[in-house]
Amino acid sequence: FINVGQGDSEFIQTPSGKTMLIDAGTNEAGNSVVSYLKSHGINRIDILVGTHPHEDHIGGMDNVINNFDIGQFYMPKVTTTTKTFEDVLKAAKSKGLSIITAKAGIILGLGSDIKAEMLAPNGTKYDDLNNYSAVIKLTYGNTSFLFTGDASLQSEEEMLNKGYDLKVNV
């Protein structure tokens, strides 16, 4: 969990060396996220996830894209007219990155010993941007994590109604 103040940023490195970054904090946190990753010898992010297009989740994403080799880039299929969102799109375009639609059912390839699956979003139209949040359940051995972005009640109810196992350690 990278300290970005008000916001989200989680970095996962698997035993096989695969890497995933979920969110990158605010615009102001972008340099801190980049510095943190570089100080740990990271030069490639295999899977980059912008959970949803609020500034406290994707603000530093353009810095990350501009400073690292990126494998796959996931964001939910929703747009906003903010400069932050436009900056992320411009950075992705300048690197030739395609944005893969984040949605329930996607299995993220982090190696044979890690199970990582997107459990949300389950819908395609929400009034609240938070409900577009990519929710990821990651399991390694007997330990599991649930990364929820800012998924709200509607998204939570959809995951429960789909029968997803939301019991996790973290």
Instruction: Render pLDDT for 113-137 as a digit per residue (tens, 0 to 9).
Output: 999 999 999 999 999 999 999 999 9
77 touches 124 (CB < 8 A): yes
Q: What is the pLDDT of residue 121?
A: 98
Cα(50)–Cα(65) distance, integer angstroms = 11
Instruction: Render pLDDT for 77-114 as a digit per residue (tens, 0 to 9).
Output: 998 999 999 999 999 999 999 999 999 999 999 998 99
Phi, psi for residue 163 in degrees, rounded to 5: 85, 15
**Cβ neighbours of residue 60 under 8 Å, at least 6 residues apart?**
4, 9, 24, 25, 26, 27, 28, 29, 30, 31, 32, 33, 34
CA 25 to chain centroid:
11
> Rounded to two decimals, what is the model's pTM?
0.96
